[in-house]
Amino acid sequence: MIALNIAISLFVIVLLQFAGMYIFSLMTPYRDMEEVNKGNVAVGITMGGKFVATAIILAIAAYSNSSIWHMSLWFAVGYVCLLAAYWAFDWLTPGVKLSDQLKDGNVAVGTVLASVYIGIALAVSSLII
């Protein structure tokens, strides 16, 4: 029974991680993997930041909840906060259109945005515990 619970939990965690990455990819007017395949380092860095940030929130949600449903709920709450951080950062930098800068390969913007994702994920995760 324990092995089954672990297998189900692992399946749900992987599903939520990839669902989170898919939702993030819908937020950009370009295709993330297409840009990465073209060698766009800025998009690659940002995508890595999205993945790490999503994993941080998911890890804390999984660690602090014994129920898959509660874990999923707290992941959703944390993930909405992460998405809101992107929109807030975009709004607070009116002179810089983030998606255009990333598509153009601006590594500085990609690095800052990845750091914002990871920082927000750490801060939001402290609220989930």
> Exposed, middle or buried by CB within 10 Å (0-12, 13-18, 19+), for 93?
middle
Task: Output the pLDDT for position 12.
Answer: 92
pLDDT of residue 107: 97
CA distance 98 to 6: 39
Q: Residue 128 in contact with residue 74, Cβ under 8 Å? A: yes
Report pLDDT for 128.
82
Residue 97: predicted pLDDT: 87
CB 84 within 8 A of CB 99: no
Question: Over its length of 129 residues, how does the chain's per-residue pLDDT go in tens digits?
Answer: 788 888 988 999 999 999 999 998 888 888 999 999 999 999 999 999 999 999 999 999 999 988 889 999 999 999 999 899 888 888 888 888 888 999 999 999 999 999 999 999 999 999 887
Alpha-carbon separation of residue 91 from 6, 10, 80, 95, 98 (angstroms): 41, 36, 16, 9, 10
